[in-house]
Amino acid sequence: MTAGPVAHWVRFLDQGEIRFGTLERDQQRVRVCEGDMFAGALPTERTVALADVQLLAPVEPGKIIALWNNFHALGARLGLPDPAEPLYLVKASTSTLAPGGVIRKPRCDGKVVFEGELAIVIGKRASGVSESRALDHVLGYTCANDVTLADILHRDPTFPQWARAKGFDTFCPFGPAVATGIDPATLAVKTILNGELRQDYPISDMRFSAAQLVSLISQDMTLEPGDLILCGTSVGVGSMKPGSTIEVEIAGVGRLRNRFE
């Protein structure tokens, strides 16, 4: 599904109704669509100004899969061996947050870390798909922040708490749009904290490509339309203090902006 014309799909609240559509070329208006974003969406004659609507997370994922050690540069920095297969965890679907939403400090104390990432958005049910057909099951790509409460990861020496550390409410902002018709290997991720560039890395440095991730993960679990695969992060990860603004920018995809309070 990634082949074809470039489009940027958004979901938004318009006069109390949840709608979806595609950004016009000027990125200032949305062409309202009807039907199903994943199957047979139909553009209408109506457009609305982006400034007049409230952007929502562009899809509603049933599950969010997050990769560990998927970039050569970060693996080398941490002295990690090359994994033989994708290493991943599942974030809670309740961790999702819309563009512009507020990342909330957990009720427990600890260092909250940002991780700017590319996310794969599944567009068609995938179970045991081959690498050569994997991208047929992808709707497109979006920006994501795999927020983590780092201090609790290894607080209990008997059990690494990955799901809890990454599963707090608001700990998965993503959006603002799902970009279709682009080659993810040509992209680069930038993360900006309070106006300062903290991450700038190429997606081409991934150990497992988008096609490999979709194929290999689909051997383990069925991927459904709207599910997200967060591709992992690279060097430059750091902590945020309350009051910070965090942005994840991927040229050709969009710019995700959130506050941490």
- In CATH, what number is assigned to the domain containing residue 88? 3.90.850.10
Residue 46 lies in a domain: no
Enclosing domain of residue 115: 57-260
Instruction: Report the Cα 123 to chain-centroid distance in Å.
Output: 14
d(CA 190, CA 168): 23
Residue 35 lies in a domain: no
Residue 31 lies in a domain: no
In tens digits, the chain (261 residues) has pLDDT values of: 445 678 999 999 999 999 999 999 888 999 999 999 999 899 999 999 999 999 999 999 999 999 999 999 999 999 999 999 999 999 999 999 999 999 999 999 899 999 999 999 999 999 999 999 999 999 999 999 999 999 999 999 999 999 999 999 999 999 999 999 999 999 999 999 999 999 999 999 999 999 999 999 999 999 999 999 999 999 999 999 999 999 999 999 999 999 999
Per the CB < 8 A criterion, the answer to whether 70 and 231 are in contact is yes
Report the domain count for the chain: 1
Residue 36 lies in a domain: no
The identity of residue 147, as a single letter, is V
- Model confidence, pTM: 0.96
Residue 213 lies in a domain: yes
Residue 21 lies in a domain: no
Residue 49 lies in a domain: no
Name every residue whose Cβ is closer than 8 Å to that of residue 134 and which is 6 or more positions away in sequence: 126, 210, 211, 212, 213, 214, 215, 218
Q: What is the DSSP letter of 212?
A: H
Residue 52 lies in a domain: no
